[in-house]
Amino acid sequence: MNQSTLILDYSKEDLSDILEEWGEPSYRLTQLWQGLYHNLWNQANQFTSFPKGLRQKLGEHFIFQSIEPVGESISDQGLTRKVLFHTSPANPIEAVLMQSKDRNTLCISSQSGCGMGCVFCATGQMGFLSNLTSGQIIEQVLYFARLLRREGKALTNIVVMGMGEPFHNFDQTLQAIDRLNDPSGFNFGERRFTISTVGIVPMIRKFTALKRQINLAISLHAADDDLRSKLLPINRKYPLDMLLEACREYVKQTRRRISFEWVLIQEVNDTPEQAQKLAKLIKGLLCHVNLIPLNPTQGYQGKPPTKQRIQQFKAVLEQHQIPCTVRQPRGISIQAGCGQLAAVHQGQSR
């Protein structure tokens, strides 16, 4: 076993085998699992119910943290908190906690950087750096869970919508959710998770076949292939007719509502014509549209629309009985859009 192995990368079954190999009684597994995922311990010496020798062995064979917080920004009167982490090769990843009266939503990353190249996204402008392990995905969650616990609060929702394309790191993302969902540990219900994808059709179909209770969101952003291919290069491989067919199959098989994310860019995709096309595209589908005014980035010249244009777009969808909401921008002053804080730090380090 590698000494630098992250303990959060191991399933319960894996840890059971290791403890058995060490000659430990079976109840040690429950103590270890609850220590990690219920007590949120992140050091071997915190397991005080273990004999000293076992604590030493844990510390010798595992690391309990593999990502290091290197930057933090807070805005919206303390309600939005963005943390920049570095992995051991100093690759950046980000997570954002957004709090409101009754919700504490955490947006986490599945990759460092992203290879999808969406033109308005700071992460896409960085390019792909590395996949995260399941344990590194989990680490982001436990970091903020500790923070909230000190305030007498808890996470209510987790969105895999930070840096990276989750369906290009499918297995590690699902393994992380499985461990966080385990009722004997972190016990975070599947329906409180959302995975967001730009539309990797084969992986949407694979995800559909699992019939999980995890929510699915599609980054759509345009209602015709010409415009969507300019904004999201992946559309050239998986055009809208193919993507919407997979979305309809998802709803049919799972009976779950699908969400469509639509970043509104002034005079690009915020027109009534695009709204009409969108309504026609998703008519009859069990879905919801999240309208998100653009969070500007240094690498893209687009601007967010005026409130009037946003409301006009929303009104068209409502005329067609398409459920939609306008998501208020959070953390603009602290570069809370995907990859923005990391991009700033990268620029400063050059």
The catalytic residue positions are 94, 338
How many angstroms separate the CA atoms of 239 and 243, rounded?
A: 6
Amino acid at 334: I
How many angstroms separate the CA atoms of 86 and 166, rounded?
A: 19
**Alpha helical stretches, state H, the chain:** 12-21, 27-37, 52-61, 122-126, 134-150, 170-181, 201-210, 225-231, 240-254, 272-282, 307-319, 340-349
In whole angstroms, what separates CA 31 from the centre of its chain? Answer: 29
How many angstroms separate the CA atoms of 272 and 67, rounded?
A: 44
As a dihedral over the C-alpha atoms of residue 160, residue 165, residue 166, residue 167, rounded to 10 degrees, the angle is: 150
CA distances from 236 to 116, 225, 242 (A): 11, 8, 11
Amino acid at 75: S
* Cβ atoms of residues 35 and 53 within 8 Å: no
Say which residue the tokens 């067609």 belong to. Answer: 320
